[in-house]
Amino acid sequence: MQNILLLGAGRSATSLINYLKKNAEQEEWHVKIGDFDIKLAEEKGGNHPNTSAVQFDILNEIQTKDEIAKADLVISMLPARFHPKVASACVDLGKHMVTASYNSPDVEELSDIAKSKNILILMECGLDPGIDHMTAMEAMDNISEKGGKLTSFKSYTGGLVAPENDNNPWHYKFSWNPRNVVLAGQGVAQFIRNGRYKYIPYHKLFSRYETIEVNGLGDFEGYPNRNSLKYRTIYGIEEIPTLIRGTFRKAGFCDAWNIFVQLGVTDDTYKMEGLENMSKRDFINAFLPYNKTQPIEEKLCLNLGIKRDSETFKKLEWLGVFEDAKVPISDGSPAQVMQAIMEEKMSLDPGDKDMIVMQHQFEYELNDKKYRLDSSIVSKGDDQLETAMSKTVGWPLGIAVKNILNDNIKLRGVQIPIKKEIYDPILKELNNMGIQFNENEIEIKD
């Protein structure tokens, strides 16, 4: 019997846990689910004979080492800031670890020690990052193997609401951590286009999007995400002239969200005074110039350069930011207030399904001809537990766990899933589970 320790039983872990339970008997696994909320861990285990639950506190170093010592492999679904602590304990105790979160310098520096102890620390094995790496590398490896030269790679991913449940003017509902949505894009977007380095500061980001058509779903807006430049080295395409990784939203979202960015209400660096006495209308007015007589709506339009009859203004109005109702929280940053306001209107309704949309766009040269390959995936959730987000994050982790414990993946040290030994078995099983890319290739005529 092999012992798997899963740390974190939140919403994103649901599909992963169900995958582990489904395979536990055949694979001879015991899955221990650890969460600070023991009831949640027990609920996710669901009395399955091959699972157990434990109240777990990552800040308790004695408990952390004790539980990891009893496992053959650890899956961390904890907040990202705790992964270095888990990884360090796994390396000390000689245990494999997998997670869906981004790699970090603190984890990366453990790679040589992990190799010396014959263990694998597999990072970025979820959706984005994860499936995006795997599918991109598979396509790029295929292009390379047939002698093609890659000249452009653009990749966009979005967690959205399924079209049949899209019933608000933003065409958006939360299917993931709302805080991450409110804080998205902060920092500087960095990428390269036609050999030119490009940098977009946060206050310009949502006015610098591209309109991209996804077959069967219409137009989306893609804005650059974080630092795309580092992926030239990661993917082994250092000389590529164009490389952009970004986020998808439905058409119209970015212009409306840009209003909030320009106002400053997505700032999370300070706490506001007087929230306990503010209405939503007061909250927005706090970020506008003082005028004794001018209505807030008129003042906002004048200062932000939009019209009262525009679709952008209608989105703001629908969200309720001009209402006299009290703000939902009495203590917090502007970003926390915005999150609370949005959660009142943008949460999934009972019966709603979410949707993941990912599209890769490759351009390459082969035999003096130019080609464009569009590769896209559209995945819908089953319900509010088995969401598309939960499945596309959890299933790759579960498949990776199975292949590591069965010794099909022999790589060691700190890795992300960009090598065929890792991505090939994961993508094959995902394809059988209905997570598959549709490809469309055309020759580009000059």
Strand pairing class (96-99; 120-122) = parallel
Q: Provide the Cα torsion 328, 331, 337, 340; round to 10°.
A: -40
CA 185 to mean position of chain CA atoms:
12
Please give the C-alpha separations between residue 432 and each of 339, 395, 406, in angstroms, as whole numbers: 37, 12, 19
User: Rounded to the nearest 5°, which phi and psi values hold at 379?
Assistant: -130, 130
pLDDT at 215: 78
Q: How far apart are CA 344 and CA 168, in angstroms?
A: 13
Which pLDDT does position 118 carry in this prediction? 96
d(CA 422, CA 435): 17
- 237 burial (CB, 10 Å; 0-12 / 13-18 / 19+) is middle
At residue 27, φ and ψ (nearest 5 deg) are -85, -5
Segment 417-446 shows an average pLDDT of 90
Q: Is 272 helix (H, G, I), strand (E, B) or coil?
A: coil
Distance CA 254, CA 248 (A): 10
Q: What is the mean pLDDT of residues 160-180?
A: 91
pLDDT the model gives residue 216: 78
Give the pLDDT confidence of 133-144 residue by residue, as tens digits: 999 999 999 999
CA dihedral 174, 179, 180, 182 (to 10 degrees): 80
- For 257-346, CATH gives 1.10.1870
Q: Greater confidence, 12 or 123?
A: 123
**pLDDT at residue 440, as a whole number:** 86
Average pLDDT over residues 120-135: 93
Q: What is the mean pLDDT of the chain?
A: 94
Q: Are 89 and 58 in contact (CB under 8 A)?
A: no
Label the pairing between strands 73-76 and 2-7: parallel
Determine the pLDDT at residue 402: 97
Cα 312 to its chain centre, rounded Å, is 26
Torsion angle in degrees (nearest 10) through CA of 104, 110, 114, 115: 90
pLDDT per position as a tens digit, 253-310: 999 999 999 999 999 999 999 999 999 999 999 999 998 889 999 999 999 999 999 9
How many Å apart are CA 224 and CA 244, to the nearest integer? 7
CATH code, residues 131-254+350-386+437-444: 3.30.360.10
Per the CB < 8 A criterion, the answer to whether 6 and 33 are in contact is yes
Bond prior to 129 in cis (omega within 30° of 0): yes
For residues 172 and 161, the answer to whether their CB atoms sit within 8 Å is yes
pLDDT tens for 326-364 read 999 999 999 999 999 999 999 988 889 999 999 999 999
H/E stretch holding 188: strand 188-193
Band (443; pLDDT cuts 50, 70, 90): confident
Q: 2-127+389-432 has which CATH code?
A: 3.40.50.720
pLDDT of residue 307: 94
Flag whether pLDDT at 384 surpasses 80.
no
Whether residue 19 has pLDDT greater than 90: yes
pTM exceeds 0.95, yes or no: no
Q: What pLDDT is stored for residue 258 in this prediction?
A: 97
Q: What is the pLDDT of residue 355?
A: 93
CA 256, CA 245: separation in Å to the nearest integer?
A: 22
Query: Percent of the chain, pLDDT > 70?
Result: 100
**Mean pLDDT for the stretch of residues 361-381:** 92
Whole-number pLDDT of residue 382: 86
**The predicted structure's pLDDT at residue 441:** 84
Q: What are the extents of the domains in the chain? A: 2-127+389-432, 131-254+350-386+437-444, 257-346
Confidence of residue 192 (pLDDT cuts 50, 70, 90): very high
340: part of which helix (H) or strand (E)?
Answer: helix 334-346
